[in-house]
Amino acid sequence: MDLLEVRGAPNDYVCESGVIQHLEPFLKRYGFKKAFIICGQRSWNAVEPYFPKDRTLSYSFFRYHGECSLPEIERLSSHCIDYDVIIGIGGGKVLDLAKAVANQVRLDVVLIPTLASTCAAWTPLSVIYDDNGTYVRYDIFPKSATLVLVDPNMLLHSPVAYLRAGIADTLAKWYEADCIIRQLPSPPLSIKIAHQTAYLCKTTLLEHGPKAINDFLEKRDSFSFRQVIETNIMAGGMVGGFGDRYGRVAGAHSVHNGLTKVSSTHHLLHGEKVAYGILIQLVIENHWDEIHRLLPFYQALQLPITFQQLGLPNEKEVLHTIAEAIVQPEESIHLMNVIINKETMVEAFYQLEEFASNYKNKERHAL
């Protein structure tokens, strides 16, 4: 049955400095006694100074092996015996892994993001990769997180590249949701909420993004920084939560998925590949004025706009490999109201390359 399902928010969400120290009272409120914690070494290094020192509940720590993959989900699920809650601590892949494990073993999940790079802490879905980092699919779950704790002070000490990538990934919410929702003659209220929230993502990030990065670099927990991290985590998650399939992904994320097929792009963060995907989607839609408006913002945030910045060789064979993956029948790019095939995708790559290179040359000559 093709129903529109709204999963707008976690059961409980708190964004305050020092909130992680109050983890145990939250767990006790829900009656949890024995927690299965999934995290990586870097994630634990980030959260340990903020984690409760005088612990009265039982915690077992399990390291993840680098990907949210089906074998990793199975491996961790096999250890989930006699626990009553899963706690995911880390970036998007760790949180996605925790959600997938919790769904498999039918336990509640608590999420503590150590990066403001995605809306993974908010959304009841997981992006699945293979063990080499190539995109496989995404799974939507019937239940949202029980609790999400966001500590802005901890996020101030994360790598800046992840904040930049998070801004790009969340900026895509507008361009992807808008190209789908504007096709609907009479969208229901939940989709209108998703559309308005996606627009809020765009306007907030364009207004506050560069200042938030500067404040982050100076370790200032400023108004702009808070606006951006909550837009990335909360507002970005609300778009899909209220919009369901109309507010999740379209062209930009299909481009991301295609880029993962080429190993030379694996050094890029998820949001960096999505950033490039936004521009390719706008090329397909023939929205060159919007691309021109975005390029200074991309330059300010050091987001990729050319093959060289992607680490992508300018070779037709490579572009055909990416394009073929982008236009697979199951890809979300087909939700756009345009005719797309492998040839149009390759042409879009070359058109953007020429446009972006000309823009960079003009910028260089203006100095």
pTM of the predicted structure, to 2 decimals: 0.92
Enumerate residues 6+ apart whose C-beta is below 8 A from 140: 124, 125
Helix residue ranges, H only, the chain: 23-29, 41-47, 70-77, 92-105, 152-155, 160-181, 189-217, 223-230, 236-243, 251-259, 270-284, 288-301, 307-310, 316-326, 342-366
| Residue 79 annotated in active site | no
Fold of 13-155: Rossmann fold (3.40.50)
Domain boundaries, the chain: 13-155, 160-366
C-alpha 73: how far from its chain's center?
19
In this structure, are residues 117 and 91 in contact, taking their beta carbons and an 8 Å threshold?
A: yes
What pLDDT, on a 0 to 100 scale, did the predictor assign at position 367?
60
> How confident is the model at residue 3, as a pLDDT?
84
- Give, in order, the Cα–Cα distances in Å from 182 to each of 194, 196, 336, 366: 12, 12, 10, 38
Q: What is the dihedral of CA 122, 128, 131, 133, to 10 degrees?
A: -80
Active site residue 267: no
Q: Which of 96, 151, 208, 256 is catalytic?
A: 256
Going residue by residue through the chain, which has 367 residues, state the pLDDT in tens, using 9 for 90 and above: 478 899 999 999 999 999 999 999 999 999 999 999 999 999 999 999 999 998 999 999 999 988 999 999 999 999 999 999 999 999 999 999 999 999 999 999 999 999 999 899 999 999 999 988 888 998 999 999 999 999 999 999 999 999 999 999 999 999 999 999 999 999 999 999 999 999 999 999 999 999 999 999 999 999 999 999 999 999 999 999 999 999 989 999 999 999 999 999 989 999 999 999 999 999 999 999 999 999 999 999 999 999 999 999 989 999 999 999 999 999 999 999 899 999 999 999 999 999 999 998 887 777 6
CB count in 10 Å sphere of residue 28: 12
From the candidates 108, 151, 195, 253, which is the catalytic residue? 253
Catalytic residue among 96, 108, 151, 169: 169
CATH class for the domain made up of 160-366: mainly alpha
174 Rama class: left (phi>0) / alpha (psi -120 to 50) / beta = alpha
- Can you tell me the distance from the alpha carbon of 261 to that of 265, in angstroms, rounded to the nearest whole number? 8
pLDDT of residue 1: 40
Separation of CA 12 from chain center: 20
Tokens of 152: 């802005």
- Alpha-carbon distance of 304 to 315, in angstroms, equals 18
Interior CA angle at 138 toward 84 and 331, to 5°?
A: 170
Q: Is 270 a catalytic residue?
A: yes
Encode 243-277 in three state secondary structure: HHHHCCCCHHHHHHHHHCCCHHHCCCCHHHHHHHH
Is 169 labeled as catalytic in the residue annotation? Answer: yes
> Are 90 and 113 a contacting pair, CB within 8 Å?
yes
